[in-house]
Amino acid sequence: MKYAIIICFIFMGLSAQANEKGLGISIGNPTGLNGKYWLNSSRAVDAGLAWSLGKNQEVSIHSDYLLHKEGAFYFNDIHPLDFYYGVGGRMEFADEIELGVRVPLGIAHRFEAESADVFAEVAPIVDLIGKTGLELHLIFGGRYYFN
């Protein structure tokens, strides 16, 4: 039963028809693999499989529905940075399974010629099932996109 829940959670973020699909890595807390599926030019679904590298080495998976504001900021007045925010879920496998709600906020820069992006994200998480409490994820990463 536990594995059925895990599989359903992963594919929750992969079920939508997408225009572009990206795969990449994320570094921070937690560190791991991530993917992003664009629904249109301003909406996307992401998913991640990651692990904490600190004292407690838990594995977690997450998926978020994201809204993007293209060109919300500029770096050096010429590099557009998209702002994004959303809501999603997170499952962590510690002493017991923990389920929580994620609220990611981030910025991303798209390299159109290379079909890639880089991003920085902060995501407060409220764990509701298992060990309840508040947690904060801070990650940096990049993805390569496939058409």
DSSP line for 113-130:
TTTEEEEEEEEEEEEEES
Strand partners of residue 144? 23, 116
CATH code of 121's domain: 2.40.160.20
Mean pLDDT over residues 48-55, rounded? Answer: 83
Residue-number span of the structural domain to which 73 is assigned: 2-146
Mean pLDDT over residues 101-108, rounded? Answer: 96
**pLDDT reading at 145 higher than 70:** yes
C-alpha of 67 from chain center: 12
Structure-token pair, residue 25: 């890595």
Helix (DSSP H) and strand (DSSP E) numbers for the chain: 1, 9
pTM of the model: 0.79
Please write the tens of the pLDDT for every residue from 71-83.
666 766 677 789 9
- The answer for residues whose C-beta is within 8 angstroms of residue 5's C-beta and 6 or more apart is 91
Closest among 90, 70, 67 to 79, alpha carbons compared: 70
Structure-token pair, residue 19: 């225009």
Mean pLDDT over residues 36-63, rounded? Answer: 89
Q: How many domains does the chain contain in total?
A: 1
- The answer for residues whose C-beta is within 8 angstroms of residue 69's C-beta and 6 or more apart is 42, 82, 83, 84
Please write the tens of the pLDDT for every residue from 17-48.
457 899 999 999 889 999 999 999 889 999 99
Least confident of 59-63, 72-76, 112-116: 72-76
pLDDT score of 19: 75
